[in-house]
Structure 1
Amino acid sequence: MSYTGRCACGVISLEFLAKPIATRQCWCRQCQQIAAGGPTQNAIFKNDHVSIQGTLASCQWTAASGNTLTFHFCPSCGTQVYAQSSARMYLKTVRFGVIDEPHGLKPEMVIWTEDAPAWAQIDPTLEAWPQQPPPPPPAKS
């Protein structure tokens, strides 16, 4: 299974050479800030399964987990492309929005539910974590 993707203006393009290790919806405050108040929807890939063409900009901050998060985005249009945690530099957490449709991906887990606003609608059929869950298991190459 492979996927392709691009930012809103098309300056950044991506190719994914395998299925994601996991998919998650994140309600942490930082994700709410970059997602206009809602959660982010993310697919987690091993670094060597993601090929990116184009030059990304980045910014960093310390997350509630205590890890340093680096967010990579298109410097032309601002589209969030992926994030990386200092605790798991071998993974890229890619935003669903940059993956070309129809990708068929959907969240398998909801994280940082304790930060979700009272009006948030969290799917009760999904595994949910009040904070950061353990990292996904390593995928076979």
Structure 2
Amino acid sequence: MAAPYSGRCGCGAVTLRIDAEPLASRQCWCRQCQAIAAGGPTNNAIFPAEAVEIAGNRASSSWTAASGNTLTHSFCPACGTQIYAQSSARPTLKTVRLGVIDAPHGLRPLTIIWTDDAPDWAVFDPALERFERQPPPPPAR
């Protein structure tokens, strides 16, 4: 598949349309992502913020990540589905959870990040680039 992408939360109250290809796609093992993903990693695609159009009520929460940046997570207040995250370091980007993009979308993580925070039982695809902590920002297109 290729852009545009569409998606929705678990209950359908929040919908999205993405009019760009991802700048990067990552699997994140930071402790915050493990907390919101029930112990596993989050799987995400990073898009220019202006390419992501979202409709429906959203709630958000923010905290300081291990990187020192403030992360704001947007989610559906009705069903709790995570929609996207934004970092104070890169407000021009939205990190969209792959699970909210309608399948089949063909997107998959190409990089694994924050591997130092992963539990000892985590399994990493050896074909993917890895970063022990915060990776460099995705290249602009």
Deviation (angstroms), 1:84? 0.3
2:107 aligned with 1:122, yes or no? no
Counterpart selection for 1:12 from 11, 14, 21? 14
3-state DSSP of counterpart to 2:125: coil
Match of 1:36 among 18, 38, 48: 38
**Residue 90 (str. 1) matches residue 92 (str. 2):** yes
Query: Aligned runs of 1:1-141 on 2, under 5 Å?
Result: 1-139=3-141
Q: 1:85-140: CA deviations, max 9, x gaps?
A: 0000000000001000000001010000000000000111100000010100112x
Instruction: Tell me the SS of whatever aligns to 1:31.
Output: helix
Given residue 50 of structure 1, which amino acid in structure 2 is its aligned partner?
A: V
TM-score (norm 2): 0.97
Q: Which runs of 5+ in 1 are unaligned?
A: none
In structure 2, how many angstroms separate the alpha carbons of the residues matched to 1:26 and 1:88?
A: 17
Which residue identity lines up with residue 134 of structure 1 in the other structure?
P
Q: TM-score, normalized by length of structure 1?
A: 0.97
TM-fit CA distance, 1:55: 1.6
Identity %: 65
The Cα of 1:9 is off from its aligned counterpart by: 0.3
Runs of 4+, deviation exceeding 3 Å:
none
Alignment RMSD, CA only? 0.5
